[in-house]
Every structure is written in C-alpha cells, then in structure tokens.
Amino acid sequence: MAWKALSMIAYFAAKWDSWRKEDVVANLKSLAEHLGLSQATVSRALNNYSTVNQETRAKVLEAAKKLNYRPNSSARRLATGRADAIGIVLPHQDDLLVDPHFADFLAALTKKLATYDNDVVLTATDTPQTYQRFAEIGKVDGFVISAPKAHDERIAVLSKLNFPFIVHGRCETDLPYGFFDIDNEGAFYDATKLLLQLGHTRIGLINGAADLMFAKQRLDGYNRAHKEFGIKPALELIHHDHMTEEYGYRHAQALLDLDDRPTAFLCSSTLVTVGAQRRIREMGLEIGKDISIITHDDGLSSLKTENFSVALTVTRAPIRDAGTQIAKMVVDLVRGTPIEQLQKVVPVDLIVRTSTSAPRRSRS
Amino acid sequence: MAWKALSMIAYFAAKWDSWRKEDVVANLKSLAEHLGLSQATVSRALNNYSTVNQETRAKVLEAAKKLNYRPNSSARRLATGRADAIGIVLPHQDDLLVDPHFADFLAALTKKLATYDNDVVLTATDTPQTYQRFAEIGKVDGFVISAPKAHDERIAVLSKLNFPFIVHGRCETDLPYGFFDIDNEGAFYDATKLLLQLGHTRIGLINGAADLMFAKQRLDGYNRAHKEFGIKPALELIHHDHMTEEYGYRHAQALLDLDDRPTAFLCSSTLVTVGAQRRIREMGLEIGKDISIITHDDGLSSLKTENFSVALTVTRAPIRDAGTQIAKMVVDLVRGTPIEQLQKVVPVDLIVRTSTSAPRRSRS
DNA sequence: GCAACTATTGAAAGCGCTTTCAAGAAAACG
DNA sequence: CGTTTTCTTGAAAGCGCTTTCAATAGTTGC
C-alpha cells in the first residue's frame, strides 16, 4: 500500500512536470526583455489592442504561452481599477442556518462567472458596512444579492453608493435595480388554482420567512387564486418560517392538528416537504389521497422531487439556471449595460405528478 | 403600499446617511496631506508599526475613521505580496452534483476567515492548472482542498508548487501536508461494532463514492469491526456512490432485495438516509425494529437527524466545526506555522437513539 | 518631392500602497 | 559638553501592470 501510494504520487508528479513548461517568466518586464520589446507593446499584445502589429502579437502570445507567463492580478487590478471579481454575501439568516439551495446557486454562478474570467469573492457578514467596504476598497466590481427582503436595506445602500449589483429576486422599491427572478406569484397562483379546481377549499401554506420577498410573492399568488374562487383563506392556514426539514414537520403538525384541517399543502421548498411528509406519515395519512401536496422545487441536485415516495406535483424552477443567468447579468452590468435591460422574470413550470388529487369526501 | 415602500427606502437612506461620514478621503496621499504627515508615517500608524509615536498614531487612526478611509486592497496586495484571501475550488464531482454539506462548510469557513481579514475566493474548475494559475497569479495566499481522493492530484500539484494548502480530510501520500479530518475510520468502527454487538451479522454499508478518502476510511472501520468479530462481510453488502437522496433509495432497494437481506444499514450521510428510509417504508418495514440504521451526521443546519420519524443513531461530527478550524489552520499556515503542527484529527461521537436495536429473530 | 497620414512602438507616468534608508531631534551616556 | 543611542519621521524606491503621449518609420496624396 505504501508502495502504491508512493508510485501514484510519482505518477502525478511526472504528469505535472510534463504540463509545466521548463522556463517560467515572472513578470511583464522579463517577458519584454526576453522578446526584445517594451513592456508597453507586450502588454498591448496581451490585451488585444488593435494598434499592435499582427506578427508582433503572435510572437508575444507564443512566448507568453511558452514561458507560462501570467499577469499578476493585483498589479493589473491596481492599474485598471477593475477587480474582475463579483462579491456575494453568505445569507446566514440566523447564526446557524445555511440554505442548502445556496450551494447549487453558488456553483452555477461561479462556473458561469469563470467563463468571463471573473472570480467570486465570499463574505460572511451581512451588514451595509460590509458592502460599502468591499465596494470602496476595490475588491469586487459588483455584487449579487440573494434572498432579498421586501424592503431590503442592502439595495438602498448599494444604490446610494452607485455600486453595481444584481438581485436574485425582487423587492419593493422605486429605486431602479437589476434583478433576476422567477415568477413566484404566478407559480403559486397556478398551484393554488389547481388545488382549488380539484375541489380543495382549505389549503395549508408552508411558506418561507415572512420578510423574504419571494415568500410574499408566493402568498400573493395564493391569495389571488383564492380570490378568484371567492374563498377567503383562514389565517391559521398560512405559515411562515425558515425552510428546513424541522420546520416543515412542525408546521405540518400544526396544520393537521386544526379542527377543520386542510386537505392540501403548498410548500415552499423540497426540504420543508420532507418534514411535512414525516408528520403526515406519522399521522397515518397518505399523500396524494388524504392530503394533496404541491411543493416548490428548486431542482436541487441532491434531493429530487420526482423521487419522493409519492412523486410530487411541483412548481419547478431550477435555481442553477438563476445562478447562470445572474452571472452573465452582473458582468454585463459592470461592463455598462443599462439597468433597464437587466431585469428578468422567468415563468415557472407546474409539473403535475401523483401527490395531488381531489379531496376525500368522507370527512367527519 | 407604494407609499410604504417609498417611506421604507427613505428610512434606510436616512439611516445610511447617518453612518456615512461627511468627508470621505480617497487614498493614503490625501489622508497624509490632510494630517500634514508623510504617507509613510500614516501607513505605519495604520499598520501598527511600533516605531510610530503613540500620539501620532492616535491622530491618524482618528482621522482615518472620521474620513472613512479604506486602503485600496489591490495596491496593498501589490505592495505586500499578500492577497489576504484563501482559494477554494467548488467540488462539482459531476457536472450537476453539488454537495449540500458544502454550504455549511463554506459558511463556517468564510465566517471564521473574516475574523482574520481574509476573503474566500471561489473557483469552479477543478484542474491542476487552475490551482497553479491562482497560486502564481497572486490571487490567493493558500487553498483549502475539499473531498480529497485517496491519491489526490491536487495535493501533488500544490506540493510541487510549494503553495500553502490545508486538506479537509486526508489522503495517502508521503508528501507532508496540513489537514483537518474527523476520525472516519474510528467512527464507522464504533458504529459497526455497536451493530455487531446488538447481534447484527449482515450490515449494509451505503458509503460515499469509492475514490473519496473518507469513504475508504469508513470502509476500513467497517471492516476492522467485522474482523474483530470474526465476520467477513459479503461484498454485496458494500455500496459506494454519490451521497444523494436518490442513490440512498436505490442502494437501500438493492440491499433489501437481497435473498439474505441485511438487518442493519450504515449510511454515510443524512440525505442518503432520507432515501434509504423511503425505500424501507415502501417495503413496509420499520426502522429501529425490522432494520437498524446508523448514519453519519454532519450536523447539517437544515436537516437534523434527531428529527427523523425514528430518531437516528448517528456518528456525529458537525461539518461547520471543520470549516471553522480549517480557517484558522490555513491562516496559520500562510503565516508560517510549520506543517507538522497543522495536522489534526478529531474523534467522532456516537450518539445512540432509537433507530438501532437487536435484529428480529423471526426470519424465514 | 514634400506635406499629411497611418501604423507601430517605446518612454514614462501613474495606480495606491509598503518599506528601506537616511536624517533630524531628543534623550542618555561618560 | 561632545558623543552615542533611541525615537520618530520623511523621501523615495519599488510592487507589476496599463495607458497616455511622443516618436519613428512607412504610406499616401497631390
């Protein structure tokens, strides 16, 4: 085993040597000297200036490649004023809570930004001062704001600083800002409508935290559908909380303990549904028969709604798509695309599977 | 509503103005001029050099605060050669798969690094060249490597480059490197032993991907316990795969379809257990009675093992702790702490709850 | 054939900070 | 009281890159 380990390392080392070019050149200056050119010309060649002769450019590019030259990023940043990096603040709502959706979002965002040679810089503390500092200090060229609240301080601050940012979601403000959002209102309108059409009249809503904009939008959709059917949903049916398995369980429990308990649930995330399902089972009820469920599905890579015991009817909008799109949008914004062109809302699919059916008639 | 939105914005704007000091000073030069001092002295004062007079320092600090001065990070990086940033490469095993544990880990890491004034820079592409480039380019001072394989290329490369890095986990190599790991082998040894002591003789193992080091370690623990009991586990009992709900389901299914089916499962992650549980239920079996389960619990903030229908017996090691510890370790490493002092393995708790019991005797 | 362009390159001035080196003032020493 | 030390500060030289501006050579126009 020890031998094997050693040989593997030797293998990788050799492989690595073959990638690594012999000569390595540290900086522009030495590359320029090596080529017998000025730093200026070499820099221009590397940065695709039209004023540089084709042959020269070719030579420079070749040498740079051969000598494995990489421009120092700090120097470049200092000279250009650009950071080629986008900031993103970890949404740690509570101290402990981390949204699992965020991993998928981040992965897609980072991957797409890499195609624009932009990095992602993470920060933990979510205060206006953090944003200001990052902006002023030149660490990032722009921000992506996640999980906006209806009235989000961060947007006020960044607007005031006149610093580029794209919001993942929307908020209520008259300030102009770029955003990418899914049609949460429409999605939950459709979902609610489907349930109402099936004959459900008491529909429990297990929503995200009340101050988050998307939760508000979803509630709006829920309400609009009810209004169309002339039904006024009881307040006891509407729950707002963090979207964890645990809270899914608790709120399902509360809903099922009601005297006149709902015949259908509308859940804001897959994990919440896992929790709700646990409670439903405990009570000996059957999903899709005793109780219908529609959940919002962010297309998490590690937890798929089609794989639930009872395949779930969902409103589906892959959060990775949001990451990918927002990456492009924020880069465009930094490069000068006007805000008005960076406001996008995409529709949400309603995928009907077996967790929804007409309510059972037999009720005591 | 529109009015309310407007007023909120006005509120935030006002609040913001009160934070924001009137005068703002762009750079060291103007701050120095404002103070009637040289840039050198001001810089020294700001960076806590002992050679600067106490009174002068106080004056400088006060002025810097009042004028809201923030040193430009690129300039500072260029001058010092430090980036004050740690790189981390997103572990996208497949194109689509994102490990939900990673969000928790990242959050803790980022938060702790912030206390050292270090940022986290994310990258998507996981090739040796990526590491090399980031290192040479000066974007980061060090790396954190996640999910190492037994023979991990990245470690060979970074070692060769002589670039600081800390591994979250371990690997098989004779190269010296810093790491933080939990005692996976011990944890699964303990868990397996518990099951064997309870009388189980056929224990299904639903492990992580076979090339990942932690999966190997866990398998080792599983095997060691069996050896002690003089039992040779059948190969059919040992499964390796990605740790998603879906695969948990599938492998549980495969295991339960065996002629002589296992009476206990050992699962490598909470999400896998969710899937396994689904299959177990479908077959009308009862966890903790028909089948015992022990799962490894990374302490995910949004999915807690104590909240399963049948509270799960677990080997528990919060992944956030790893993030926090590694943050400190990598900073220490960059600052010169020798590698030998940066190798840590922490024990794992075995928490017994109700998902484990002696196997049922009645078997056909 | 000379003025007016065009194409291409280089010199040099930053970008905003840190840090070496030298210098002046104050304090300590003998 | 002259000399050595200690404190404190400033001037200036980078860090490695980009970019303005000037300069040269080569073209074109009339």
CB contact under 8 A, A100 and B100: yes
**In-domain check, residue A358:** no
pLDDT tens by residue, A305-352 = 988 889 999 999 999 999 999 999 999 999 999 999 999 999 999 999
pLDDT of residue B199: 97
For residue A45, how many C-alpha atoms fall within 13 Å in the half-sphere facing its CB?
23
Asked if A162 reaches chain B (Cβ–Cβ under 8 Å), the answer is no
Q: B215 and B150, same structural domain?
A: no
pLDDT tens by residue, A218-245 = 999 999 999 999 999 999 999 999 999 9
pLDDT of residue B103: 85
**Structural domain boundaries, residue A247:** 184-318
pLDDT of residue B1: 42
Q: What is the CATH number of the domain that holds B39?
A: 1.10.260
pLDDT of residue A12: 55
Q: A201 and A141, same structural domain?
A: no
B3 pLDDT band, cuts 50/70/90, is: very low
Q: B296 and B215, same structural domain?
A: yes
Asked if A250 reaches chain B (Cβ–Cβ under 8 Å), the answer is no
B95 has pLDDT over 60: no
B110 → closest Cβ in A9, A124, A160: A124
Residue A111: both structure tokens together: 């991957």
Q: Which residue has the higher pLDDT, B133 or A3?
A: B133
Mean pLDDT value of segment B3-23: 50
In this structure, are residues A150 and A161 in contact, taking their beta carbons and an 8 Å threshold? no
**In-domain check, residue B261:** yes
pLDDT of residue A126: 73
pLDDT of residue B363: 46
Q: A295 and A333, same structural domain?
A: no
Asked if A10 reaches chain B (Cβ–Cβ under 8 Å), the answer is no
pLDDT of residue B90: 81
A363 has pLDDT over 60: no
Q: Which nucleotide is nearest to B38 (CA to C1')?
A: D10
Q: Which residues of B touch A77 (CB under 8 A)?
A: 74, 77
Asked if B71 reaches chain A (Cβ–Cβ under 8 Å), the answer is yes
B97 pLDDT band, cuts 50/70/90, is: low
Mean pLDDT over all residues of chain B? 89
**In-domain check, residue A354:** no
Mean pLDDT value of segment B209-226: 96
Q: Which residues of A touch B303 (CB under 8 A)?
A: 100, 244-245, 271, 274
pLDDT of residue A129: 78
DSSP 8-state symbol, B287: B
- How many angstroms is C1' of C30 away from CA of B50? 29
Query: Which residue, counting CA atoms, is nearest to the C1' of nucleotide D14?
Result: B79
E-strand spans in chain A?
85-89, 119-123, 142-145, 165-168, 178-182, 203-207, 238-240, 264-267, 292-297, 313-316, 343-346, 349-351
The residue of chain A nearest to residue B131, with distances taken between CA atoms, is: A16
Asked if A122 reaches chain B (Cβ–Cβ under 8 Å), the answer is yes
Matching residue, tokens 């030259």: A69
Compute the residue count for chain B. 364
pLDDT tens by residue, A125-167 = 777 778 888 888 889 999 999 999 999 988 998 998 899 999 9
**In-domain check, residue B141:** yes
Mean pLDDT value of segment B136-150: 92
pLDDT of residue A2: 46
Q: Report the amino acid identity of residue B263.
A: T
Taking each continuous run of H as one helix and of E as one strand, the counts in chain B are 13, 12
Number of neighbours of residue B318 by Cβ within 10 angstroms: 19
- Find the distance separating the first CA and the last CA of chain B, reported in whole Å: 68
Q: B307 and B189, same structural domain?
A: yes
A24 has pLDDT over 90: no
Smallest CA-to-CA distance from B303 within A278, A261, A178, A59 is with A278
B83 has pLDDT over 90: yes
- How many angstroms is C1' of C3 away from CA of A58? 34
Asked if A136 reaches chain B (Cβ–Cβ under 8 Å), the answer is yes
- How many angstroms is C1' of C28 away from CA of B36? 30
Which helix (H) or strand (E) segment is A189 a member of? helix A184-198
Q: Which nucleotide is nearest to B32 (CA to C1')?
A: D10
B16 → closest Cβ in A136, A157, A304: A157
Least confident range from A97-111, B7-21, B282-296: namely B7-21
B125 → closest Cβ in A114, A132, A274: A114
Could you say which residues from 297 to 356 on chain B have a Cβ atom under 8 Å away from some Cβ of chain A?
300-304, 307-309, 320
Q: Which nucleotide is nearest to A25 (CA to C1')?
A: D16
**In-domain check, residue B165:** yes
B11 has pLDDT over 60: no
Q: B192 and B314, same structural domain?
A: yes
B2 has pLDDT over 60: no
CB contact under 8 A, B245 and A304: yes
**In-domain check, residue A143:** yes
Q: Which residue has the higher pLDDT, A361 or B220?
A: B220
pLDDT > 90: what percent of chain B?
75
Q: B281 and B267, same structural domain?
A: yes
**In-domain check, residue A78:** no
Could you say which residues from 16 to 35 on chain A have a Cβ atom under 8 Å away from some Cβ of chain B?
16, 19-20
pLDDT of residue A96: 52
A14 has pLDDT over 70: no
Mean pLDDT over all residues of chain A? 89
Q: Which residues of A touch B297 (CB under 8 A)?
A: none
Q: What is the CATH number of the domain that holds A109?
A: 3.40.50.2300
| Count of structural domains within chain A | 3
Name the strands in the sheet holding B165-168, side by side, starting at the edge strand that comes first in the sequence: A343-346, A178-182, A165-168, A142-145, A85-89, A119-123, B119-123, B85-89, B142-145, B165-168, B178-182, B343-346
Q: A153 and A140, same structural domain?
A: yes
Most confident of A48-57, A291-300, B21-30: A291-300
**In-domain check, residue B78:** no
Q: A188 and A178, same structural domain?
A: no
Q: B310 and B222, same structural domain?
A: yes
Q: B245 and B153, same structural domain?
A: no
Q: What is the CATH number of the domain that holds A35?
A: 1.10.260.40
CA distance B340 to chain A (A): 20
CB contact under 8 A, B107 and A128: no
pLDDT tens by residue, B158-194 = 998 899 999 999 999 999 999 999 999 999 999 999 9
pLDDT of residue A19: 45
CB contact under 8 A, B246 and A2: no
Q: Which nucleotides of C are covered by protein (CB under 7 A)?
A: 7-12, 14-20
CA distance A40 to chain B (A): 19
SS3 A329: helix
